[in-house]
């Protein structure tokens, strides 16, 4: 569906500033043809600015943006071959669904005899073929977002830009549309997607790779599995999934010290005696006796349907444990023992080699 077989995006040292305030600094990233790259980070991290730089809505102060190997830094948005979907739909209320989807085609002066077929194709892909005659006000939020997606697809973009496209929807609709985006990715393997989100679940579910941004800079990049299982920084560990982060000192081979307790973990080539951070995911923490026992007091218990989340104060740190629904849940103040397996912990820092 893309206009050429060669797509993909490359940022080369891209910096953007609003006045004297940098919002993206020395940003280097390559998105392969057909790849879904999630830009993940907190508000103000620079992820939307990066997306807008690809779309042509902001001009970098330095660096280049390339699409399909072509430098598009100085080109207007309509000449870049990108389609964009934003969180607030941005549909024209006076146009019917078909008219909204056709808008980009008319702006690009696509021959009139081709427009109807392109509109029908895009609506069919997004499951909105039966709603072509309706106005936006006659649609639900999820349906409006599908129309916005159809409008972006109708121009047959080489790159699809998605800026928090699900954030205005309720949980059920988000789940449904996330599945639709995954299906479209399978059906349009030649289209690269840049997906901006602050929702880690969306990024982990949809992306081939995730770029983690914070304070205008790229902090990490890798597959969802790499970033989740082997985070390279504390920020990545805490932002990509929930994490227990424990300050430790590297001990003899295969051990660390946490608040006077020796724990067995994989330390690799970490420097003996160095300070480091131990990352353990909450769902890998068990309750009761086991390897690497840590004794503490229950601070809070949250029932989450299929699981209980326990918050346990251990040596001045609050640890999280996600456990399958307990028949008898401990109460705040109860003394409990948590444990985790050595292979389920990841050491960050202390000279540990990147994965």
Tell me: the pLDDT tens digits for 41-81? 999 999 999 999 999 999 999 999 999 999 999 999 989 99
What is the DSSP annotation of 275-311?
EEEEEE-GGG-EESS-SS-EEEEEEEEEE-SSEEEEE
Task: Please give the Cα distance from 303 to 282 (Å, whole number).
Answer: 14
Predicted confidence at residue 352, as pLDDT, reads 53
Task: Please give the Cα distance from 80 to 220 (Å, whole number).
Answer: 27
Residues in the chain, pLDDT under 50: 1-5, 353-355
Sign of CA dihedral 326, 329, 332, 337: negative
CB-CB contact of 104 with 155 (8 Å): yes
Task: Please give the Cα distance from 235 to 257 (Å, whole number).
Answer: 22
Tell me: the pLDDT tens digits for 115-164? 999 999 999 999 999 999 999 999 998 899 999 999 999 999 999 999 99
What is the DSSP annotation of 15-35?
EEEETTEEEEEEEEEEE-TT-
CB-CB contact of 35 with 191 (8 Å): no
Task: Please give the Cα distance from 255 to 276 (Å, whole number).
Answer: 12
How many other CB atoms are there within 10 angstroms of residue 252's CB atom? 10
Predicted confidence at residue 1, as pLDDT, reads 42
Predicted confidence at residue 5, as pLDDT, reads 45
End-to-end CA distance of the chain: 36
CB-CB contact of 44 with 28 (8 Å): no
Of 241, 309, 236, whose CA–CA distance to 277 is shortest?
236
Phi, psi of 246, rounded to the nearest 5 degrees? -110, 130
Task: Please give the Cα distance from 202 to 220 (Å, whole number).
Answer: 17
Of 317, 322, 256, whose CA–CA distance to 287 is shortest?
322
CA 271, 277, 279 angle in degrees (round to 5)?
125
């Amino acid at each position: 569906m893309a206009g050429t077989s060669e797509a993909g995006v490359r940022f080369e040292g891209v910096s953007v500033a609003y006045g004297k305030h940098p919002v993206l600094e020395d940003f280097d990233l390559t998105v392969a043809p057909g790849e879904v790259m999630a830009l993940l980070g907190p508000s103000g991290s620079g992820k939307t600015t990066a997306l807008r730089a690809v779309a042509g809505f902001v001009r970098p102060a330095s660096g280049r943006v390339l699409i399909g190997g072509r430098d598009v830094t100085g080109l207007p948005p309509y000449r870049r071959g990108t389609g964009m979907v934003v969180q607030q739909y941005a549909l024209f209320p006076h146009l019917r669904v078909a008219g909204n989807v056709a808008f980009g085609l008319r702006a690009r002066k696509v021959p009139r005899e081709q427009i109807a077929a392109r509109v029908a194709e895009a609506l069919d892909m997004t499951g909105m073929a039966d709603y072509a005659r309706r106005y936006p006000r006659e649609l639900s939020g999820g349906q409006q977002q599908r129309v916005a997606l159809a409008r972006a697809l109708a121009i047959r973009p080489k790159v699809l830009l998605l800026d928090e496209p699900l954030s205005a929807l309720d949980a059920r609709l988000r789940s449904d549309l996330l599945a639709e985006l995954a299906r479209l990715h399978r059906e349009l393997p030649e289209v690269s997607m840049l997906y901006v989100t602050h929702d880690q679940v969306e990024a982990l579910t949809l992306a081939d790779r995730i770029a983690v941004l914070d304070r205008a800079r790229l902090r990490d990049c890798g597959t969802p599995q790499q970033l989740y299982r082997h985070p390279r920084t504390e920020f990545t560990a805490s932002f990509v999934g929930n994490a227990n982060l424990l300050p430790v000192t590297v001990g003899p081979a295969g051990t660390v010290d946490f608040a006077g307790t020796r724990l067995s973990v994989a330390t690799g080539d970490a420097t003996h005696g160095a300070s480091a951070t131990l990352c353990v995911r909450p769902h890998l923490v068990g309750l009761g006796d086991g390897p690497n026992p840590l004794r503490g007091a229950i601070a809070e218990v949250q029932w989450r349907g299929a699981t209980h989340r326990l918050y346990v104060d251990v040596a001045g740190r609050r640890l999280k444990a996600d456990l399958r629904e307990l028949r008898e849940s401990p109460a705040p103040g109860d003394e409990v023992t948590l444990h985790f397996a050595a292979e389920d912990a990841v050491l960050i820092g202390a000279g540990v080699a990147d994965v």
